[in-house]
Copies of this chain bind each other. A is one copy, B any other.
Amino acid sequence: MITALTRNETWSLLTLVIACFSVLANTFQGDGEPLIASLALSGIAFAATFSLIRWLGGVFMRAGLKGKDMAKLRRPELPETMGAVCAIVYILLIIVFIPFPFYKDIVAATSGGGNRDVVLPVEHVETGRFLHRFPHSKLASYLSGILSLQSIIILGIGDDLLDIRWRHKVFIPAFSAIPMLIVYFVDFGVTQVVVPAPLQRFLGPTVDLGWLYYVYMAAFAIFCPNSINMLAGINGVEVSQSLVIAVLLLINDSLYLAPFTPYPHPAMDSHLFSIYLLLPFIGVSLALWWHNWYPAKVFVGDTYCYFAGMVFAVVGILGHFSKTLLLLFIPQIFNFVYSTPQLFHLIPCPRHRLPHFNVRSGLLEPSVAEWSRPPSKLVALALEILHQLRLVRVWKNEEGDITESTNLTLLNLWLLWFGPMREDKLATHIVVLQLFCGAIGLLVRHKLALWVFKVDNRAFG
């Protein structure tokens, strides 16, 4: 494990940081251009994360934050929980970013004791299309998003340290979503949703879901982090899928800012909000990806998966496009649904379900769950059907009883379909799958949604 930057890396990162700082300094000359500042800060985030991952590798190992890479011949020990470094750099950067999009809309003089008895409104300067600033009232939303992200980092680190049980872990994101939901409640409180056109005759144009909307948001916030944490276990796959989702979201966001979109678009603020949160996320994730792609030098830890999922949940909920977001989670949704028989223990669920590393061939193969006693007739029948559909593979003993069946994860299924392959090839396949499904999803969102809703909200106004 190299714990220092090479001379080449040092100079490249230094150049990047200097360039970013110059861009940042330039944004101060006008009224501040949040989008450009966000880009520059993301460059700094990349450089900082890259360097810190290198420098802290040894420190983490000494502190016992380490794990064995089981899918390698020598099973090297690597630093764990490096996602925490990512996440902390990210949080710091999006906090430092606050003054760029939020101008002061009140300037107050005080007569002491914390009261604001002299309030002077200052005129709001609109500085152009891409240089848009947020109204001050969005600050609370932004802060609540950061609070939720910080909460999941604290709980994620706790999980990585204390090895919390699966059935408790699932609710970590629920706890972390509380700040966001509570601020949503006191600050915004919109629980109406637009009704699809065919149903508007019965329900009217919008329907108020009330507290059900909060249940939906909580479920969404539980799903995103956990689903990323489930599609995990081989080098680079956690970071790659997060990067693909982030980039697709960014493309979707830019549709609302692009020159061909009518201006000012009512959803523009929400999508700027999303961009401001995603750009530095891509910055820190790229730095982690560099070290985590095959052959991995560091592990990301549950912390990263939770953190990445929560970034998406925050963006989706506070940006009001959670349904669109789910279209980018198709592989994760499939993986979750496909896993349920094991999660609910209809099929035995071993502690780890990652693909099996074949020491002789150096390739990954589907891993299996062993049946200590044969399944009930119903389960056996279902497994047989799935086996015929090539959705699972079962092995039987001479009596015809099922003794082993493949673990129900997307990674194992992929190996079942396309045969054993090397770890990086499998990860690449999954990344391409994610990209393909996501692109289709966005196409459906913007082209086909018109069949169900009257307008694509991108063309609103």
Q: Is A76 an interface residue (CB 8 A)?
A: no
Q: Is the CB of B185 within 8 A of A154?
A: no
Chain B residues whose CB sits within 8 angstroms of the CB of A139 once the complex forms: 140, 183, 186-187
Known: A113-B320, A162-B63. A98 touches B182 (CB 8 A): yes
Q: What residues of B have a CB within 8 angstroms of the CB of A270 in the complex?
A: 113-115
Cβ distance A367 to chain B, nearest Cβ, rounded Å = 28
Binds B, one of A103-111, A227-235, A336-344, A439-447: A103-111
Task: Contact check, B140 vs A178: say whether CB atoms are below 8 A apart.
Answer: no
Contact in complex: B111, A266 (CB < 8 Å):
yes
Establish whether residues B154 and A63, one from each chain, have CB atoms under 8 Å apart when the complex forms: no
CB pair B146 A95 closer than 8 Å: no
Q: Which of A7-15, A188-196, A279-287 binds B?
A: A188-196
Nearest CB of B to A196, in Å: 12
Q: Nearest-CB distance from A204 to chain B (Å)?
A: 13
- Report which of B56, B109, B158, B267 forms a contact with A190, defined as CB distance below 8 A: B109
- A60 contacts across to B, CB distance below 8 A: 162
Question: In the complex, what distance in Å separates the CA atom of A109 from the CA atom of B207?
Answer: 11
The answer to whether A414 has its CB under 8 Å from any CB of chain B is no
- CB-CB < 8 A to A183: which residues of B? 98, 139, 143
**CA of A98 to CA of B181 in the docked complex: distance in angstroms?**
11
Which residues 64-112 in A have Cβ within 8 Å of B in the complex?
64-65, 84, 88, 91-92, 95-96, 98-99, 102-104, 106-112
Q: Is A117 a contact partner of B266 (Cβ separation < 8 A)? A: yes
Decide if A412 is an interface residue (CB 8 Å cutoff). Answer: no
Q: What are 19 A-B pairs with beta-carbon distances under 8 A?
A: A64-B64, A92-B178, A95-B147, A95-B178, A98-B183, A98-B186, A109-B190, A110-B190, A112-B266, A113-B266, A113-B270, A113-B460, A114-B266, A117-B266, A136-B186, A139-B140, A143-B143, A143-B144, A146-B147
Beyond contacts A84-B158, A99-B186, A104-B189: 7 other A-B pairs, Cβ-Cβ < 8 A, are A98-B182, A102-B186, A109-B192, A110-B190, A113-B321, A116-B190, A140-B140
